[in-house]
Chain A
Amino acid sequence: MNIIVEIVVSLLLIGSGIFALTGAIGLVKLEDCIQRLHAPTKAATLGVGGVLVASSVYFTMKSGALSFHEILIALFILLTAPITANFISKVYIEGAKSREDLPQTGTQHGWAIYDDPPRK
Chain B
Amino acid sequence: MITIALAFAFLCFAVGLAITLWRIIVGPSSADRILALDTMVINVIAMILLYGIWLGTDVYFEAALLIAMVGFVSTVAYCRFILRGDIIE
Contact = CB atoms under 8 A, between A and B. Distances in A.
A contacting B, Cβ–Cβ less than 8 Å: yes
Nearest to B84: A94
B39 A88 contact: no
A27 B32 CA distance: 9
B52 A91 contact: no
Given A20-B16, A84-B72, A62 B56 contact: yes
Contacts of A44: 16, 39, 42-43
Contact of A77 (B17, B23, B30, B68): B68
Nearest to A86: B79
Chain A contact surface mostly: helix
A34 to B, nearest CB: 8
Chain B contact surface mostly: helix
Interface residues of B, number: 50
A95 B43 contact: no
A6 B50 CA distance: 15
A66 interface: no
30 contacts: A10-B5, A13-B6, A17-B9, A17-B11, A21-B12, A21-B16, A24-B17, A28-B23, A33-B28, A33-B32, A36-B35, A44-B39, A48-B45, A52-B49, A55-B53, A70-B49, A70-B61, A73-B68, A76-B68, A80-B68, A80-B72, A84-B38, A87-B76, A87-B80, A87-B83, A88-B38, A91-B31, A91-B83, A94-B83, A96-B31
